[in-house]
Amino acid sequence: MTTNKNTIYYTLTDEAPSLATCSLLPIVRTFTKAADIDVKITDISLAGRVLSAFPENLTEAQRVEDGLAFLGQLTQDPDANIIKLPNISASIPQLKACIKELQAQGYQVPDYPEAPANADEEAIKARYSKILGSAVNPVLREGNSDRRAPPAVKAYARKFPHSMGKWSKASRSHADYMRDGDFFSSEQSITVAEPTQVRIEFLDQNGQVEVKKELGLEKGEILDSMRMSCNALRAFFEETLQDAKESGVMWSLHVKATMMKVSHPIVFGHAVTVFYKDLFEKHGELFKELGVNPNNGIGSVYDKIASLPRSKREEIEEDIHACYENRPELAMVDSVKKITNLHVPSDVIVDASMPAMIRNGGQMWGPDGKPKDTKAVMPESTYARIYQEMINFCKTNGAFDPTTMGTVPNVGLMAKKAEEYGSHDKTFEIQAPGIMRVVDAQGTVLMQHDVEVGDIWRACQTKDEAVRDWVKLAVNRARLSATPAIFWLDAERAHDMQLKNKVEHYLQEHDTQGLDLHIMSYNEAIRFSMERMIRGLDTISVTGNVLRDYLTDLFPIMELGTSAKMLSIVPMLNGGGMYETGAGGSAPKHVQQVEEENHLRWDSLGEFLALAVSLEDMGRKQNNQRASILAKTLDAATGRLLENNKSPSRKTGELDNRGSHFYLGMYWAQEVAQQQEDPTLAAQFADLAKTLAENEAQIVAELAACQGKPAELDGYYHANRDTVKKVMRPSATLNTALASV
């Protein structure tokens, strides 16, 4: 691998962020080339990953580099400097749609074989399984996570607060979770003293052993195992549905089928077959023949029945509608298009969906398009309880106030596929009654669970090195921000107690004098943080991987309206840096708005913040003074952009993503032109600063003129880059000004 120390690797991803990149990069490169920095695009989009997985199916000209493999290696390089935008963590329906689009464009990639009929199809499925779900982040995140709202961003939220729904004390919204039979209630955990080999085995009722997986564990590594009972899960869904029906509250499901890519789609599938029980009972045989997969949502039924004769299809559709009669109202993703919460597993993703509901006064959208109180069902009680705590808090204290509230940054454990990130190949849906167990080389049983058909069993690994680095990061962050830091570790969780030992041990490696560090259970920790937050005080949350994911949407969405405005840094274990843009996803709804009205409401603030720290790092590590100047001036420009409220508006016709990029470019050019550390550099940008300021009205008008009409992108997952460039760069005046530098 040849890498250049003066290169920033900027990822090309999917949906809204990839559109934004087409407009932002030409501006960024205008600046970075003055510091001899190359900003290179690396394709890790879903379509790019599909294409690179099947080179033999493509012509020479169609083949693409495996961007993810390249960046995966780069993460080990101490000079790595990567800017990572959010990418699609694909559900099966998203993957299939992407494949279909590529095939229509002439790429002969194979169909996704849901039920492989032979060895070839097995092999194809195995290749695709590496692309499904959270397939990018665990590979690139070779470090722990440091996510926070910089002071300028907090100041912006205080000056221009987003709207918050009102919380009524009489709200009936609540989180509902399993009280027994879930992963939480069965979790076991060990730490191995020395490097060792273990086997994950299934022991059937006849005493036959099947080795499911062999694992090498490092010294000090933590291994967890847990079981979710299928019967308990289904009974729980049925109870929650009946309870919601009787009490007249809406029902919604919140899982993370992308990150927990094996276990949560199965959980989602059970919700579908319990909610539409009568339908699946009546048509079970036919659905099996048609290949309906409830784990893909009720959308899978609609897909598969499309080929049936009209009368049969209508009968089934009527049976679907009949299910709604006996069930509570179901939360909707799009009530106009009749897309429910159970349509596809990637539409409602808990990290974003629960905060959105809480921000909205505890309500979600009902089938009639009206906001309603809802029962938010999250089977895994491990994490669901924090949402109930926040709901209780809002019922008592009212909605949070963005103009006065403090902030809760996060230091999250995720390096080296920590915790759930590494669970995919160690998660099993049980096929027969028996025992799942972890056995060492000597045959000693280290952990075991009785299991029944349909249960989900999973194991997770956490490396000692990752924990040690996480503790260090927490101590440094607490010191740098002079803020109390809470380790969220639950005394009732076996895994957390293993972690606690390590935390206590590794804290001794640091000077913690004067720091305010605590270890608290999740409920205590969230209450403590919220109590402080409404008094304007800040509290760092130091958490495991799933809470990292959940909290870095939950708090920012209350504080800033969106997690897109977070600074999100991954200091890599080997010394390199990855700078993520915000803490949110790829905003599919935003693309729809572009297609319909040519307005992109994506806020690139996360990209601006990430680029500034990336340049700062480049300046320091490569001794590139111009990079340091660009970092400082970019920060100042971002501050002005926030101060003057030049962020994208949600409304078509008003300033959008492209307009905010123009303002960033103008302010940045002005800041560079004004600085005195490097007069040659200042002179280089004086003309641009002047031209952009003089043509501000003209450029803004050109950027507004294109809006209000549909925009054709020639593809969704694999849009034509030239077409997208035209759509995203409609101002001739701006383009000419940039080209002249």
Ligand X SMILES: O=C(O)CCC(=O)C(=O)O
Ligand Y SMILES: NC(=O)C1=CN([C@@H]2O[C@H](COP(=O)(O)OP(=O)(O)OC[C@H]3O[C@@H](n4cnc5c(N)ncnc54)[C@H](OP(=O)(O)O)[C@@H]3O)[C@@H](O)[C@H]2O)C=CC1
CB of 50 to ligand Y, least distance (A): 15
Q: Which residue is nearest to Mg ion (CB)?
A: 351
The Cα angle at residue 530 between residues 524 and 536, in degrees rounded to 5: 140
CA 187/CA 198 separation, integer angstroms? 18
Q: Under the criterion CB under 6 A, does residue 296 sit at the interface with ligand Y?
A: no
The one-character DSSP state at 294 is G
Binding positions for ligand Y, 237-266, rule CB under 6 A: 258
- 359 among annotated binding-site residues: no
Q: How many CA atoms lie within 13 A of 443 on its CB side?
A: 1
Q: Under the criterion CB under 6 A, does residue 603 sit at the interface with ligand Y?
A: yes
Q: Under the criterion CB under 5 A, does residue 580 sit at the interface with Mg ion?
A: no
Chain centre distance of CA 566? 13
Query: Which residue from 148, 110, 68 is spatially nearest to 483, judged by alpha carbons?
Result: 148
CB of 59 to ligand Y, least distance (A): 29
Q: Under the criterion CB under 6 A, does residue 7 sit at the interface with ligand X?
A: no
State which of residues 202, 400, 602, 717 lies at the interface with ligand Y (CB under 6 A): 602
CA 629/CA 626 separation, integer angstroms? 5
Query: Which residue from 163, 156, 259, 145 is spatially nearest to 567, judged by alpha carbons?
Result: 145
How distant, in Å, are the alpha carbons of 146, 293, 359, 477, 653 from that of 499? 19, 38, 32, 19, 52
Chain centre distance of CA 112? 24
Q: Which does 602 bind (CB under 5 to 8 A by kind): Mg ion, ligand Y, ligand X, none?
A: ligand Y
Binding positions for ligand X, 256-285, rule CB under 6 A: 258-259
Look at phi and psi of residue 198 and say left if phi exceeds 0, alpha if psi is from -120 to 50, else beta.
beta
- 464 among annotated binding-site residues: no
Nearer to ligand Y, 97 or 235 (CB): 97
Chain centre distance of CA 711? 27
- 291 among annotated binding-site residues: no
Q: Under the criterion CB under 6 A, does residue 88 sit at the interface with ligand Y?
A: yes
- 84 among annotated binding-site residues: yes
- 473 among annotated binding-site residues: no
Q: Under the criterion CB under 6 A, does residue 137 sit at the interface with ligand Y?
A: yes
Nearer to ligand X, 475 or 583 (CB): 583
Nearer to ligand X, 134 or 598 (CB): 134
User: Binders of ligand X: how many residues, by CB under 6 A?
Assistant: 9
Q: At 575, list the tokens.
A: 């010394």
- 136 among annotated binding-site residues: yes
Q: Under the criterion CB under 6 A, does residue 601 sit at the interface with ligand Y?
A: yes
- 650 among annotated binding-site residues: yes
Query: Which distant-in-sequence residues (6+ apart) come within 8 Å of 538 by Cβ?
Result: 406, 407, 408, 409, 481, 483, 484, 532
Q: Under the criterion CB under 6 A, does residue 659 sit at the interface with ligand Y?
A: no
State which of residues 81, 483, 543, 552 lies at the interface with ligand X (CB under 6 A): 552
Q: Under the criterion CB under 6 A, does residue 483 sit at the interface with ligand X?
A: no
CA 495/CA 197 separation, integer angstroms? 20
Q: Under the criterion CB under 6 A, does residue 593 sit at the interface with ligand Y?
A: no
CB of 91 to ligand Y, least distance (A): 8
Q: Under the criterion CB under 6 A, does residue 583 sit at the interface with ligand X?
A: yes
How distant, in Å, are the alpha carbons of 88, 97, 435, 664 from that of 667? 32, 40, 64, 5
- 137 among annotated binding-site residues: yes
- 553 among annotated binding-site residues: yes
Q: Under the criterion CB under 6 A, does residue 30 sit at the interface with ligand Y?
A: no
Q: Under the criterion CB under 6 A, does residue 564 sit at the interface with ligand Y?
A: yes
State which of residues 7, 42, 134, 173 lies at the interface with ligand X (CB under 6 A): 134
CB of 558 to ligand X, least distance (A): 16
Q: Which does 737 bind (CB under 5 to 8 A by kind): ligand Y, ligand X, Mg ion, none?
A: none
Which residue stretch of 346-354, 504-512, 624-632, 717-725 sits at the interface with Mg ion (rule: CB under 5 A)? 346-354
Q: What are phi and psi of 444, to 5 degrees?
A: -75, 135
Is the Cβ–Cβ distance between 384 and 177 less than 8 Å?
yes
- 88 among annotated binding-site residues: yes
- 360 among annotated binding-site residues: no
- 548 among annotated binding-site residues: yes
Strands, E assignment, 323-477? 332-334, 339-340, 363-365, 371-377, 410-412, 427-429, 434-440, 445-451, 456-462
Site mask for ligand X (CB under 6 A), range 342-371, x = bound: ---------x--------------------
Binding positions for ligand X, 65-124, rule CB under 6 A: 89
How distant, in Å, are the alpha carbons of 8, 144, 272, 580, 630 from that of 619? 12, 22, 52, 18, 9
The one-character DSSP state at 296 is G
- 294 among annotated binding-site residues: no
State which of residues 589, 620, 651, 709 lies at the interface with ligand Y (CB under 6 A): 589
Nearer to ligand X, 363 or 563 (CB): 563
- 87 among annotated binding-site residues: yes
Nearer to ligand Y, 189 or 586 (CB): 586
Q: Under the criterion CB under 6 A, does residue 545 sit at the interface with ligand X?
A: no
Q: Under the criterion CB under 6 A, does residue 82 sit at the interface with ligand Y?
A: no
How distant, in Å, are the alpha carbons of 281, 314, 321 from that of 310? 21, 6, 16
Query: Which residue from 521, 465, 542 is spatially nearest to 146, judged by alpha carbons?
Result: 542
Q: Under the criterion CB under 6 A, does residue 26 sit at the interface with ligand Y?
A: no
Name the packing angle between helices 545-560 and 522-533 (round to 10°): 20
Name the packing angle between helices 381-397 and 545-560 (round to 10°): 20
State which of residues 44, 157, 332, 352 lies at the interface with ligand Y (CB under 6 A): 352
674-693 burial, b if ≥16 CB within 10 A, otherwise e?
Answer: ebeebeebbebbeebbebbe
Q: At 625, list the tokens.
A: 């003074």
Length of the chain: 741
Nearer to Mg ion, 351 or 464 (CB): 351
Which residue stretch of 198-206, 209-217, 346-354, 716-724 sits at the interface with ligand Y (rule: CB under 6 A)? 346-354
- 321 among annotated binding-site residues: no
Nearer to ligand Y, 541 or 593 (CB): 593
User: Binders of ligand Y: how many residues, by CB under 6 A?
Assistant: 22
245-281 burial, b if ≥16 CB within 10 A, otherwise e?
Answer: eeeebbbbbbbbbbbbbbbbbbbbbbbbbbbbbebbe
Q: Under the criterion CB under 6 A, does residue 89 sit at the interface with ligand Y?
A: yes
Helix ranges, 535-604 (H): 545-560, 588-597
Nearer to ligand X, 152 or 566 (CB): 566
Chain centre distance of CA 182? 23
Q: Which does 67 bind (CB under 5 to 8 A by kind): Mg ion, ligand X, ligand Y, none?
A: none
Pairing of strands 456-462, 427-429: antiparallel
CB of 137 to ligand X, least distance (A): 4
User: Which residues are annotated binding-site positions?
Assistant: 84-89, 134-141, 147, 351, 548-549, 553, 585-586, 590, 601-603, 650
- Residues that bind ligand X in the complex, under the rule CB under 6 A: 89, 134, 137, 258-259, 351, 549, 552, 583
User: Which residues are annotated binding-site positions for Mg(2+)?
Assistant: 351, 549, 553
- Residues that bind Mg ion in the complex, under the rule CB under 5 A: 351, 549
- Residues that bind ligand Y in the complex, under the rule CB under 6 A: 86-89, 137, 258, 346, 349, 352, 562, 564, 582, 584-589, 601-603, 606
User: Which residues are annotated binding-site positions for D-threo-isocitrate?
Assistant: 147, 548
User: Which residues are annotated binding-site positions for NADP(+)?
Assistant: 84-89, 137, 585-586, 590, 601-603, 650
